[in-house]
Structure 1
Amino acid sequence: MIEKRTAQRHRVFKGGTITYENSGIACTVRNMSASGAAIDLDAAVPLPQSLTLSITRDNFVKNCRTVWRSDRRVGLAFVH
């Protein structure tokens, strides 16, 4: 398999929230890098291309774009 990531990812298990269009959905952040993250959702829900990922306990807030999806796991790229 060819690695396409530009930054090394690190496994994490943190509660987060994705927000878009005045909606918020709880998620679990499974891994993160300087350029993006993979999250798990409780249910397969439609998501927009652009959203915000927040991890309250880390004071972390990043604007993101959806880059891939597999059932309830979503890959996000941070928008700089």
Structure 2
Amino acid sequence: MIERRAAQRHRVFKGGTIAFENSGIACTVRNLSADGAAIDLDGPATLPPSFKLSISCDNFVRNCRPVWRSDRRVGLAFVQ
């Protein structure tokens, strides 16, 4: 497999929240880099084209967009 990420991702296991339109979906952040993250969702969910990912234990909030999806895992790219 060819690695196409610009920044190295680090494995993590943290609770997070996807926030959009006054609602939120709990998720588990599985890896994280300066450019994006991979998250696991508990069940099927339709995600909007852009939303905020927050990790409250780290005071971390980023605007992001989904770039790929495989079953329950979703790859995110952070946007400015």
State the partner residue of 2:56. Answer: 56
What is the letter of the counterpart of residue 25 of structure 1? I
Question: Percent identity, aligned pairs only?
Answer: 77
Unaligned runs of 5+ in 1: none
State the partner residue of 1:70. Answer: 70
Residue correspondence of structure 1 range 1-80 to structure 2 within 5 A: 1-80=1-80
Deviation at residue 51 of structure 1 after TM alignment: 0.8
Q: Distance in 2 between matches of 1:64 and 1:36?
A: 8
Unaligned runs of 5+ in 2: none
Aligned length: 80
Deviating 4+ runs (over 4 angstroms):
none
Q: Distance in 1 between matches of 2:3 and 2:48?
A: 26
Deviation at residue 49 of structure 1 after TM alignment: 1.2
